[in-house]
Structure 1
């Protein structure tokens, strides 16, 4: 099961505040027509409603990633909207859930708006590198995102998968890779370690962290992050999304912040 499929185990409930996951074993089937979208990420160029421009919260764009597994991961500023999607006959048949990070009201409303668009009677059309998604009077026009580089990018931790934490959405946390060093912020402590890259694998040495006392929830999150950043770590970049997977199967999903 892919990382997005694991994230999708989180239930959608009104408001934000619960991380309790719900499991499903149904394998994703994107459909033959949707197969060309696998492994690609699209970012919004425009959004219209009733033919008029629909203004998103400043600094945000709609991001829709189609994973190789057949899952979709969508974002528009705060939470992740995830799950299996089928794209036959120009229609979007989605079974999506949304993570539960606490957002300000504007971002919270925007997350719910995108969730409703994708879970509604949406249609899609791919024309070269341009993807159009329409639902009711709303149309989102997106273009394919180029992969951002591993180094020099601030990668914000979007979710942690595996281990004792299940699927969690940390309130803060980021990684920055330079030539052979990685700087880590867990939302409580910060640190730095060495790494070497070979193909799609990183060999990470011990990350030295500050020793500030953390609240229990942040301490658990910190341990989960550092458990991934130990030894050999497989990585994959799709557009503005970085996925790290440890040898033990635990993982981090990160979004490019810059």
Structure 2
């Protein structure tokens, strides 16, 4: 075999290894992707308000997936351009909205079908079962901005927000606004941030009853009753707790 042929074979071999490395080297471990667009049968698919599709690839080779309510996870393989999850398990938390259950099932069916995946620039594109999800890498959340209450915390449990109730907390330029559509109406509440501690006084409010939101308002009052809460941000979740363990979880 001539030296030119040997060289050509070596170059092809290196190139082939490079192609395989590129496919495998698109290492998704440790990354979190959040949907920026979802289409089905070529048309936009509307997700439940306030939700998205989230895919997290752990360092030990698992996929954690969410579509607004329950969490799904299992060992994942990315070989041959397929996203294959073995033994996909799902939590069984009761969702406040039946549409959330259906959305969870839709994502579970998509993952069970071993959809194709690829990177398009910084975006992850997952395609299968007539659907395409484009996901962007998650940007770290900051305290500033609007947060929606999605959990009520006591010293020993976290419960979901009652169906039909919505409450938001907005932190901006040293001012917190609480809006529940009832007794809290978005008044400016100056706050001080010291490390993880947020010091703020809610002040007096009206005490009319507004149905499902009453439970949320009581949880907000309980969280801030001492005038100080500790805040912790993990990705897009904000947890506020006081010294007695009462508090809230919120999503951005």
Whether TM exceeds 0.5 here: the answer is yes
Instruction: After TM superposition, list the pairs within 5 Å mapping 1:98-247 onto structure 2.
Output: 99-102=94-97, 108=99, 111-120=100-109, 121-123=112-114, 125=117, 127=119, 129-151=122-144, 153-163=145-155, 166-170=158-162, 171-190=165-184, 192-199=188-195, 201-215=196-210, 217-229=212-224, 230-236=227-233, 238=235, 241-246=236-241, 247=243
Match of 1:95 in 2: 90
Shift of 1:203: 2.0
SS at match of 1:225: helix
In 1, Cα distance between the equivalents of 2:214 and 2:69? 26
What SS is found at the alignment partner of 2:70? strand
1:55 is aligned, of 45, 49, 53, to 45
Q: 2:74 aligns with which of 63, 86, 90?
A: 86
- Which fold has the larger relative contact order, with Cα–Cα distance below 8 Å and residues 6 or more apart in sequence? 1
How many residues are aligned here? 206
Q: Aligned partners of 1:232, 1:158: CA distance in 2, in Å?
A: 17
1:123/1:187 Cα in 2 relative to 1: closer, same or farther (>3 Å)? Answer: farther
1:117 Cα offset (Å): 2.7
**2-structure distance, mates of 1:58, 1:81:** 10
Secondary structure at the counterpart of residue 208 of structure 1: coil
Normalised by the length of structure 1, the TM-score is 0.62
CA contact (8 A) 1:132 1:142 kept: yes
Residues 122 and 133 in structure 1, CA contact (< 8 A), matched pair in contact too: no
Native 8 Å contact 1:196 1:203 kept in 2: yes
Aligned CA-pair RMSD: 3.7
2-structure distance, mates of 1:86, 1:234: 30
Residue 44 of structure 1 and its aligned partner are, at CA, apart by 2.7
Q: Distance in 2 between matches of 1:60 and 1:172?
A: 11
- Note the alpha carbon deviations across 1:41-92, whole angstroms, 9 max, x for none: 512334233xx23432698773316498x895734xxxx3222512422324
Higher helix share: 2
Q: Deviations over 1:139-177 (max 9, x none)?
A: 3221123245432x2222223233587412241111011
Seen in structure 2, the aligned counterparts of structure 1 residues 244 and 59 have a Cα distance that, compared at 3 Å, is closer
Structure 1 residues 224, 117: CA separation in 2 closer, same or farther (over 3 Å shift)?
same
Return the index of the structure with the highest Cα Rg. 2
Distance 1:59 1:221 in 2: 19
Where does residue 54 of structure 2 map in the other structure? 64
- 1:193, 1:205 within 8 Å by CA — same for their partners in 2? yes
TM-score by length of 2: 0.63
